Structure 1
Amino acid sequence: MEGMVMGMLKKLLVCLIVFSCWSLIGKSGYADDSLSFRTMTWNIWHGGREDGEKIGPQRVVEVIRQSKADIVAMQETYGSGEWISEQLGFHFHPRGTNVSIHSRYPVLEDISVFEKFKCVGALLELPEGRKLAFYSIWLPYNKEIWIEGTRDFNDLDSIKSACDASREDLQKMWSLIQERLSDAKYADIPIVIAGDFNSMSHLDYIKPFRNQFDGVAIDWPTSHILSDVGFRDAWREIHPEVNRKEDRTWTPRFPKQQQDRIDFIYYRGSRLEVRDAVVIDEHTQKFPSDHAALVTEFSWCKPTSSQSLRLVSYNIKHGLGNDGRIDLERTAALLNNLHADFIGLQEVDNKVRRSGMIDQAQTLGKSLGMNSAFGSFMDYQGGKYGLGVLSKYPILAANEIKLPTGNEPRVALACKVQLPDDREIMVINLHFDWVKDDSFRFQQAKALAKYLDNLTLPYVLMGDFNDQPQSRTLDLLSKGTLSAVKPSQDRFTFSSTRPTIEIDFIFAAPRKAWQFRFSRVLNGKLTSDHRPILAVLELKP
């Protein structure tokens, strides 16, 4: 009896864990929660029947239903698809025996290309007449490199060549998709390409995280095909720091094999923003597949003439990670995954001995293809210590705003930037005094508020405020601004390993000039002691 009770408790605990993971989706800090949908990609493994002709597909249905996915890109459908869609009440759009699409929304048109075993496409009609081009794909591989002992790490070219087939097929697929959607009627329709790629990503096997990948860095070619033409990797955008254990979709059933991220959801289109992404690999009885399911929630942004801007604020601690290593490449890799227009960096070194005598703001800017500016707090170890701004657009002027000295000297960095429509805005980055007594901090805030009051251009204000909501510092600087409000259940920005306080913020003013789209705090447990914050705002015409 005791064993039975313990077994039931264990199942209940697993269920609660799975539910908590799924329930995180949809709670991001968005202005409009009504225009969202969830996509899943999942290779269900021989029709989901590995654990039984009936019980396996039933578990597949349960996983999909509990995930609340609206659209599923399925691989290895193999005769189970029609029954699965019937149970879900979905539209079933198959092609061949392998790939299929299951959609809560009607299928308007078949837009399939390439071989029927590997690619199926559908033009879907979402609520309010919105249209989405959605593809489910399966890519082959040349040889086995996941079973123990099949990778020769002294011959990386041989390992890399195992994914040549996936690269070649995806290149052909994408060319045909472009041709299929070349008519003007498809011009503004977002595209989602999801599936089992049987290849890893060039965003994962990188030098800063090679210790997670048997000490090697590999520039996998398959993932470049879509990334290089403007598609975004939805998972990596929400999880910008590589974590092999948490990222992996292959394989929950064979833990001794190489654990890798080989299932992807890519998207392209200005109307889509990623809200969240989770990997699902648990079921209360037994997970029915050798692949984990990847679920991504998107927000559909209504057409607007406003200028959309992606803003990031990040205290990088001069590139010093929580492992005690200074690694600016790791910082750059995380920031690269966020696709920001503007980045406010705090705790930045400029030719300081401890960080290798390099200009960190300039180095990060070059790595990300962005313009850079640096503001100095003080001289330090042969160089200068302060903060920086990175901008996708031209920086017309950069000025240090002197602030009252606290425990250390402080400045704010104000950059005048020219947007693509030729309008100009100010991007202001700050890092206030850190001690518990807010006397110095509030004096710095008052000096900055005086500067802001005299601005005639719209501005964004971001940084490490070292103070919390409802403090007099935040009350002063947020007055009359549009606040990039974070999701209530995940708003803490410090520390990155055990977040307990919210001290990093993004604001925009004047309030009437801006529209809030969304904001969220992202994880980076290794890269710095702060978590980066991302906000998307629109500057009205």
Structure 2
Amino acid sequence: MDLPLRIATYNIRKALGNDRRRDPERTLRVIAALDADIILLQEADMRLGQRPSALPAALFAGQPFRAISFDDDRDSLGRHGNAILIRDGIDVLATAHTDLPGLEPRGAVMADLAVQGRVIRVVGTHLGLIRASRRRQLAALRHFAEHAHISARLIAGDFNEWSDVAHLAGLGAEYTVLPSPPTFHARHPVGALDRIAVTDDFTLHSIAAALTPESRRASDHLPLVANLTLQAAA
């Protein structure tokens, strides 16, 4: 049986809004309103010191989703600012994280998830500002996401690519980069910086930027939300 999945990716800018207010509760309201099964976050941790989470753990109480732990020795939500939230009822089978090559410190997080008996691999990332670095990072992500037995794979995040999707070809032919609407800048979106790439196991039904008065203020990026179907195994 085909399995519907709602996936979101969102650069929360450390919960710092366009009104220059750091408001984690507002950020979490925007996330909750997405009603997604899996949410990939970028800039989810502060940059300095022990890199504490921009979203305090206490705020997750009562939410229908939780953050995946990546066994960091800091009080971080994820790694390199990348985090994965999942709806209650989804099981975590394995996790991993990696550093990505390039001049800037960048990385990615990965989780193998069991959703209603189906297993998928999900990778969240935030690519660099320099295109030469992004090319290397895309190739590294392709290898990081490989798995001999999990064919259904998804890579999402802030890809930082302003130009044509052809510049994301480093992910390889097995991934389709979904057609993304502009998500940056949240006040007047002109750049499709946030992306979701999937293997052929997924079918796209709709994809849109979550444009609301609160999401316009909560970050400089809008959340990107895709309604997908995981196809039944052959």
1:329-340 matches, within 5 Å, as 329-340=25-36
Q: How many Å separate the matches in 1 of 2:198 and 2:79?
A: 29
Secondary structure, in 3 states, of the residue corresponding to 2:108? strand
Give the Cα separation in 2 of the matches to 1:479 and 1:362. Answer: 39
- 2:39 aligned partner, one-letter code: I
Is the CA contact (8 Å cut-off) linking 2:178 and 2:196 kept in structure 1?
Answer: yes
Distance 1:367 1:469, change over 3 A: farther
Q: CA RMSD in A?
A: 3.1
How has the CA–CA distance of structure 1 residues 308 and 471 changed in structure 2, closer, same or farther, with 3 Å as cutoff? closer
Cα deviation 1:112-131 (Å, max 9, x = unaligned):
xxxxxxxxxxxxxxxxxxxx
1:538 aligned onto 2:208 = no
Match of 1:424 among 95, 119, 122: 119
Describe how 1:81-92 pairs up with structure 2 within 5 A.
none
Show CA shifts across 1:188-240 (max 9, x none).
Answer: xxxxxxxxxxxxxxxxxxxxxxxxxxxxxxxxxxxxxxxxxxxxxxxxxxxxx
Q: 1:438 aligns with which of 100, 112, 131?
A: 131
> Match for residue 191 of structure 2?
501
Check conservation: 2:15, 2:54, Cα contact below 8 A.
no
Unaligned runs of 5+ in 1: 1-304
Work out the CA distance in 2 between the residues paired with 1:473 and 1:456: 28
The one-letter code of the counterpart of 2:64 is G
Distance 1:417 1:445 in 2: 22
Aligned residue in 1 for 2:82: 387
Cα distance change of structure 1 residues 339 and 469 upon mapping to structure 2, 3 Å threshold: same
Residue 309 in structure 1 maps to residue 2 in structure 2 = no
Q: Does 1:484 align with 2:203?
A: no
Rg larger in 1 or in 2? 1
Alpha-carbon distance change, 449 to 385 in structure 1, aligned in 2, over 3 angstroms = closer
**Structure 2 counterparts to residues 32-43 of structure 1, below 5 A:** none
Q: TM-score of the superposition, structure 1-length normalised? A: 0.38
CA distance in 1, matches of 2:93, 2:47: 24
> In structure 2, what is the Cα distance between the partners aligned to 1:405 and 1:374?
25
Counterpart residue identity of residue 540, structure 1? Q
1:466 counterpart = 2:160: yes
SS in 2 for 1:368: coil
Answer 1 or 2: higher relative contact order, Cα 8 Å, separation at least 6: 2
Contact 1:308 1:537 in 2 (8 A): yes
- Unmatched 5+ stretches in structure 2: none
Cα displacement string for residues 287-313 of structure 1 (whole angstroms, at most 9, x for unaligned residues): xxxxxxxxxxxxxxxxxx311000000
Q: Distance in 1 between matches of 2:58 and 2:167?
A: 32
Query: 1:349, 1:359 within 8 Å by CA — same for their partners in 2?
Result: yes
In structure 2, the CA distance between the partners of 1:418 and 1:376, relative to structure 1 (3 Å rule), is closer
Separation of aligned partners in 1, 2:221 and 2:71 = 20
Contact 1:431-1:464 at 8 Å conserved across structures: yes
Question: What is the CA deviation profile of residues 284-338 of structure 1, one whole-angstrom value per residue up to 9, with x for unaligned ones?
Answer: xxxxxxxxxxxxxxxxxxxxx3110000000001111111111111011111111
User: Does the 8 Å CA contact 2:175/2:197 hold for their aligned counterparts?
Assistant: yes
Q: Is the 8 A contact 1:401 1:448 kept in 2?
A: no
- Partners of 1:364 and 1:483 in 2: how far apart? 33
Instruction: Name the CA shift for 1:448/1:415 in 2 (closer, same or farther; >3 Å).
Output: same
Q: What's 2:219 paired with? A: 528
What secondary structure sits across from 1:349 in the alignment? coil
Contact 1:349 1:386 in 2 (8 A): yes
CA–CA distance in 2 between the matches of 1:445 and 1:361?
31
In 2: Cα distance, 1:344 partner to 1:365 partner: 16
Give the letter aligned to residue 531 of structure 1: L
User: Can you list the C-alpha shifts for 1:416-462, whole angstroms capped at 9, x where unaligned?
Assistant: 11111x1211111010112xx31112111111112234453111111
- Which protein has the bigger helix share? 1
Q: Deviations along 1:62-102, whole A, 9 cap, x unmatched?
A: xxxxxxxxxxxxxxxxxxxxxxxxxxxxxxxxxxxxxxxxx
Identity of aligned residues (%): 26
Shift in alpha-carbon separation, 1:463–1:329, aligned structure 2, 3 A: same
Instruction: Select which of 327, 345, 366 maps to 2:41.
Output: 345
CA contact (8 A) 2:113 2:122 kept: yes
* Structure 1 residues 366 and 394: CA distance shift in structure 2, 3 A: farther
In structure 1, give the amino acid aligned to 2:210: L
Say which SS state the counterpart of residue 219 (structure 2) adopts: coil
With normalisation by structure 2, the TM-score equals: 0.84
Q: What is the letter of the counterpart of residue 428 of structure 1?
A: V
**Count of aligned pairs:** 225
Q: 1:318 — aligned with what?
A: 14
Q: 2:94 aligns to what?
A: 397
TM-superposed deviation, 1:514: 1.7
Letter in 1 for 2:196: I
Give the partner amino acid of 1:424.
Answer: V
